[in-house]
Amino acid sequence: MNNQSWVISTSDLLEGTTLNFDLLDAHGNVLHKAGVPIGQRLKDRLVADGITSVTIQGTSEVSPGNVASVLLDSFDPLLIEALNQSISAASAAVSAAIQSLAAGERIDPEPLVAGVASFMNSAAKDVAAALSVLSVHQTKENAIKQEKIAERSAKLSLLGVITAIAQGQKESFVSEIGLAGLLHDCSLILQPSLINRDPISPLSRIELEFYRNHPLKSAELLVNLRNIPPTVCEVIEQVHEQANGTGFPRRLQIKDCHYQATILNVADAYLTLTDSSGHHSFVQSDALLYLVSQATKGVFCARTIQSMMRAMSVYPVGTVVEMDDSSKAVVVRSNTDSPMKPVVRTLNTASQKIDLTKSTRSIVGPYAHPTTGRQRLPRSDMTKVFWRLDAIDAAEG
Q: Tens digits of per-residue pLDDT, 54-68?
A: 776 555 577 888 899
- Specify whether 202 is located in the same domain as 115: yes
Same domain, residue pair 152 and 293: yes
pLDDT at 74 over 60: yes
Same domain for 154 and 57, yes or no, is no
Residue 95 banded pLDDT, cuts 50, 70, 90: very high
Is residue 333 packed enough to be buried (19+ CB in 10 Å), middle (13-18) or exposed (0-12)? buried
In sequence order, which residues have a C-beta less than 8 Å from that of residue 387 and are 6 or more positions away?
Answer: 268, 269, 272, 273
| Residue 235 confidence (pLDDT) above 50 | yes
> Within this chain, do residues 122 and 220 fall inside the same structural domain, yes or no?
yes
388: in domain: no
Q: Is the dihedral of CA 188, 190, 192, 198 positive or negative?
A: negative
Do residues 7 and 104 share a domain? Answer: no
Mean pLDDT (whole number) for 272-284? 81
Mapped onto helix, strand or coil, the DSSP state of residue 131 is helix
DSSP class of residue 282 equals: B
Omega before 249 within 30 of 0, i.e. cis? yes
**C-alpha–C-alpha distance, residues 120 and 166, integer Å:** 11
The CA–CA distances, whole Å, from 269 to 347, 383, 389 equal 29, 14, 9
Both 353 and 297 in one domain: the answer is no
Angle at the Cα of 221 from the Cα atoms of 218 and 223, rounded to 5 degrees: 105
Averaged over 223-229, what is the pLDDT? 84
Q: What is the CA radius of gyration of the chain?
A: 23
| Angle between helix 110-125 and helix 171-183 axes, rounded to 10 deg | 120
Do 137 and 181 form a contact (C-beta atoms < 8 A)?
no
Please, are residues 10 and 54 in contact by the beta-carbon 8 Å criterion? yes
51 and 24 in a single domain? The answer is yes
- Whether 240 maps to a domain, the answer reads yes
DSSP β-bridge partners for residue 343: 333, 355
3-state helix vs strand vs coil in the chain, percent to 5 = 50, 10, 40
Taking residues 375-388, report their average pLDDT.
84
Indicate which CATH number applies to the domain containing 123: 1.10.3210.10
Selection from 31-45, 72-86, 183-197, 220-234 with the highest mean pLDDT: 72-86
- Same structural domain, 257 and 129: yes
Q: At 383, is the pLDDT very low, low, confident or very high (cuts 50, 70, 90)?
A: confident
Asked whether residue 239 carries a pLDDT value surpassing 70, the answer given is yes
Length in residues, the chain: 397
Give me the pLDDT at residue 43, please.
83
Mean pLDDT (the chain, rounded): 87
**How far are the Cα atoms of 137, 154, 170 from residue 78, in angstroms, in the given order?**
17, 20, 26
CB atoms within 10 A of CB 52: 13
Please report the pLDDT score of residue 215 as a whole number. 96
Among 16-20, 179-183, 302-306, the range scoring the smallest mean pLDDT is 16-20
My answer on whether 96 and 111 are in the same domain is: yes
Q: What CA–CA distance (Å, rounded) separates 207 from 238?
A: 19
pLDDT mean over 205-225: 91
**Do the domain assignments include residue 119?**
yes
d(C-alpha 337, C-alpha 313), whole Å: 9
In a domain? residue 397:
no
Per residue in 171-195, pLDDT (tens digit) is: 999 999 999 999 999 999 888 888 7
pLDDT for res 349: 73
Q: Is the pLDDT of residue 49 over 90?
A: no
Residue where a domain terminates, one of 295, 313, 331: 313
Q: Where are the alpha helices (DSSP H) in the chain?
A: 40-48, 64-72, 77-102, 110-125, 127-136, 145-166, 171-183, 205-222, 230-238, 259-274, 284-295, 302-312, 390-396
Cross-sheet strand order for the sheet of 23-24? 2-9, 53-60, 23-24, 30-32
Asked if residue 392 belongs to a domain, the reply is no
- In the three-class reduction of DSSP (H, G, I as helix; E, B as strand; rest coil), residue 366 is classed as strand
- Judged on CB neighbours under 10 Å (0-12, 13-18, 19+), 184 is buried
Q: Is residue 389 part of a domain?
A: no
What does the pLDDT read at residue 396? 55
pLDDT (tens digit, 9 = 90+) per residue, 340-365?
999 999 998 777 889 999 988 999 99
* Domain identity same for 275 and 320: no
Q: Are 124 and 117 in contact (CB under 8 A)?
A: no
Asked if the structure places residue 330 within a domain, the reply is yes
Give the per-residue pLDDT at 311: 79
Q: Is 21 exposed, middle or buried (0-12, 13-18, 19+ CB in 10 A)?
A: middle
At 1 the pLDDT is 46
Q: Which of 298, 313, 328 is the last residue of a domain?
A: 313
Same domain? 245 vs 336: no
pLDDT of residue 390: 55
pTM: 0.84
188, 247: one domain: yes
Give the range of the structural domain holding residue 181, as residue numbers without chain letter: 67-313
The set of residues, in sequence order, having a beta carbon less than 8 Å from that of 286 and lying 6+ positions away, is 366, 376, 377
Q: How many domains does the chain have?
A: 2
- End of a domain among 292, 313, 334? 313
Does residue 387 belong to any structural domain of this protein?
Answer: no
Please give the Cα distance from 346 to 61 (Å, whole number): 10
Q: Are 255 and 249 in contact (CB under 8 A)?
A: no
